[in-house]
């Protein structure tokens, strides 16, 4: 485990870079791809900060669901519910972001 926090900081920096790229992208599909990448990295960074474990995966909804379950399993029910509400509230947007990721890989 990286007790210095360098791993999480690196992931967050990459997430910020992807958001900057998304803001500057001319292709909307590419912009969504960058947003999805940013979300993945940021969730992975937060998970690492909270639980000291690296998580794998590429589906942002799965990553958020895993984060929510881990929060609940560790006694953070309110935070778990907030993550679950976020997933529900932005379900369509998260699906679009995931599709941008999978569609970009298929080409």
Separation of alpha carbons 34 and 11, rounded Å: 14
pLDDT grade for 5, boundaries at 50, 70 and 90: confident
Full-model pTM = 0.85
Residue 75 neighbours by CB distance under 10 Å: 9
Percent of the chain with pLDDT over 90: 71
Is CATH 1.20.120 the right assignment for the domain spanning 6-106?
yes
Measure the CA angle with vertex 50, ends 91 and 69; round to 5°: 45
pLDDT grade for 106, boundaries at 50, 70 and 90: very low
**Domains of the chain: which residue ranges?**
6-106
Q: What is the DSSP string of 58-107?
A: S-HHHHHHHHHHHHHHTT-HHHHHHHHHHHHHTHHHHHHHHHHHHHHHH-
Separation of alpha carbons 46 and 54, rounded Å: 10
| pLDDT at residue 105 greater than cutoff 60 | no
| pLDDT at residue 107 greater than cutoff 50 | no
Q: Do residues 100 and 33 touch, judged by C-beta distance below 8 A?
A: yes
Q: pLDDT digits over 9-61, tens only?
A: 999 999 999 999 999 999 888 888 899 999 999 999 999 999 999 998 888 99
pLDDT at 103: 66
């Amino acid at each position: 485990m990286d007790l210095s926090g360098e791993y999480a900081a690196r992931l967050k920096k990459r997430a910020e870079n992807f958001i900057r790229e998304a803001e500057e992208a001319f292709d909307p599909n590419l912009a969504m791809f960058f947003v999805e990448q940013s979300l993945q990295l940021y969730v992975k960074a937060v998970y690492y900060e909270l639980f000291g474990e690296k998580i794998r995966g590429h589906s942002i909804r799965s990553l958020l669901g895993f984060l929510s379950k881990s929060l609940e399993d560790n006694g953070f029910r309110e935070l778990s519910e907030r993550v679950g509400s976020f997933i529900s509230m932005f379900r369509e947007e998260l699906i679009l972001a995931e599709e941008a990721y999978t569609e970009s890989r298929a080409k």
